[in-house]
Amino acid sequence: MALTPFTGTVTQAALRNNFDDKTTTLTNNAVAGQSDHVVSVTRLALAIADDISLRCVDFTPADDYELRVLRLTLEDGTAGRTVTATVTVTDGDTTFLLDKTVSVTGTTIIGTAHANLDLRTTTGDRLRLLKGVPYRLTIGAPSAGPVTRAQASLVLRSRRRTG
């Protein structure tokens, strides 16, 4: 659908066409007007005894963020070590995550291993990290250590406002 320039006598058909064009454009822009963000934490030489302060990041969303994917990347020279990345509410209140455990576990290989928790499917678990609530993304201690590099990241999406 495209705009029809008005010239001279305006026809009913041209008016309707341009109204429909605007309606469609507004709807499409509204749906497309979303913005993705990433929150990540990286720990080199992740050891079993690492203090949590070395392997977590706390953040407080400035808007409601749809939690889309939790990713864990592990890089190591040894296979078979497991690491878990977890999202929690900083003070431990599970209400703001709908009482769900949001975590993904990866196992090292010789090289780089990836693990994903995909929460994008509308028929599956759906969560948004709520504005003003402090959350924490944590890389857990490895099952056997150390792990050369561990990175956990969250893909978040905010929506545009019309209100």
Partner 1 sequence: MPLQNVSGWSKLNVYPLQSGQFAARPGLRRIHTPDAGRNFVGGFSVLNPYTSEIWHYLFDVVSASTTALRLRIVDEDFVTWQEFPLGVNVDPRIITHAVVEGEIVITSPDFDTVWGLIGSGVIFAKKVASDNPATTAIDIPRGICSSWCNRVVIANGASLFISDPISATGGSARTFVGQNQNQRPAPVFGLHEGAGGLLVVLTSRGVYGLDAAAAATGIVGSNGTDWRLLNHHETYNYASSANIRGRVFALSRGGYLLVDIENNEEEGLDDVMAPRAYGPRVANDDYRSCRMIGGDEGPLVAYGDVLSVHALADDVRSWWTCAVDTTFRARGTLRTADGKELLLCEDGVYLPGGNVDGEQLLSSEAATQPKAVLAGIVSTDPSANPTVREVTYGASVGGAGSVYCAVRGDAQSATPPADTRSLIIGTSSWGATGVIYQPTPVVSRRLQFNINGDDVSVEVAADYPETRLHVGASVEFSQSAPQRPNDRGN
Query: Residue numbers of the site for partner 1 (CB under 8 A)?
Result: 6, 8-13, 15-17, 19-20, 23-24, 27, 30-31, 63-64, 66, 95-96, 98-100, 122-123, 125-128, 130-132, 159, 161-163
CB of residue 153 to partner 1, shortest distance in Å: 20
Q: For tokens 């993904």, name the residue.
A: 104
CB of 66 to partner 1, least distance (A): 8
Nearer to partner 1, 7 or 53 (CB): 7
Shortest distance (Å) from residue 17 CB to partner 1: 7
Q: Kindly tell me which of 16 and 114 has the beta carbon lying closer to partner 1.
A: 16
DSSP the chain: -------SSPPHHHHHHHHHHHHHHHHHHHHH--EEEEEEEEEEEE-TT--GGGSEEEE--SS-EEEEEEEEEEEESSS--EEEEEEEETT--GGGGTT--EEEEEE--SEEEEEEEE---TTS---EEPTT--EEEEEPPPSSS-EEEEEEEEEEEE-----
The CA-based angle 25-26-30, given to 5 degrees, is 115
Residue 53 or 121 with smaller CB distance to partner 1: 121
Q: Cβ 65 to partner 1, closest distance in Å?
A: 10
Q: Which is nearer to partner 1, 52 or 98 (CB)?
A: 98
Please report how close the Cβ of residue 132 comes to partner 1 at its closest, in angstroms.
7
The two tokens of residue 28 are 């499409």
User: Which of residues 136 and 157 has its CB atom nearest to partner 1 in the complex?
Assistant: 157
